[in-house]
Amino acid sequence: MNIIWNAEKYTSDFSFVHQYGNNVVELIDAAAGSSILDLGCGNGALTKVLYDKGYKVKGIDASEELLSIARKEYPAIKFMQGDATNFAIHEPVDVVFSNAVFHWIDKEKQPDMMKCVYNALKENGQFVFEFGGFNNNRIIHNALANIFEERGFCYEMPFYFPTIGEYAFLLENAGFRVKYAVLFDRLTELKGENGMEDWIKMFIKMPFTAVQSEQEKEEIINQAVTELKKDLFIDGKWYADYVRIRMKAVRM
């Protein structure tokens, strides 16, 4: 999925994305000095965490907007532009790491991504990642889908949120052995009094291409925020109903 990011706002207001990724880093058991590719590195915040742990790390991402921030903030690290479903690196690495990326990739493209990862890894190399799992943001998406339908629009789900079983099957078909897998709820606090509005505008872009009127887009978002308040505005703070899938696999 191609998306143009507001990189500055993403970095300032949605830092929880990479902060939660710190726990995913702990699944890596490679020795210091091992080589790591951060796939979908975004603004480079987690790439820097890996770098500080003593890994030889480089990042790859499709977004030049986010990469420009990464290169500016972390000039000692190599960052490359590339598509997660169609990339190759010159020397295989010990670990491919990814956080909050794979739900952006269409289900039909997942095997392409896994083939690229497989080829990028050394034998017995580790594939460690987390992304949106089954029922991720179900409350938010259901509210938006109902409002779209009321107004005569089709809300096309812009993400891929698999179960553990579904994703383990894909990994095994690609030549990986799954060593760890968990699906868990993670209610996530959003920043500021307009947290839900900002979240929708940042992450839910593709469905709104069906809505031509900018005024109607704003009306839909405002209606969604109003309806979501009963479930996701808690003690004066906005939350998103995240569900994450976290896995570790090894190239056979």
Bridge partners (DSSP) listed for residue 126: 95, 250
Across all residues in the chain, what is the average pLDDT? 93
pLDDT tens for residues 147-185? Answer: 999 999 999 999 999 999 999 999 999 999 999 999 999
Q: Is 190 helix (H, G, I), strand (E, B) or coil?
A: coil
pTM of the model: 0.91
What class, spelled out in words, does domain 7-136+159-191+242-251 have in CATH? alpha beta
The full set of domain ranges for the chain reads 7-136+159-191+242-251
User: How far is Cα 86 from Cα 184, in angstroms, rounded to an integer?
Assistant: 29
For 21-136, strand residue ranges (E) read 35-39, 56-61, 78-81, 93-99, 121-132
pLDDT tens for residues 58-108? Answer: 999 999 999 999 999 999 999 999 999 999 999 999 999 999 999 999 999
Q: How far, CA to CA in Å, does 203 sit from each of 100, 128, 169, 196?
A: 12, 23, 28, 11
Element (H, E) at 199: helix 195-203
Counting residues of the chain whose pLDDT is more than 90, the rounded percentage is: 90
Q: Is-contact 55 32, C-beta < 8 A? A: yes
The arithmetic mean of pLDDT across residues 208-232, rounded, is 97
Q: Is-contact 224 200, C-beta < 8 A? A: yes
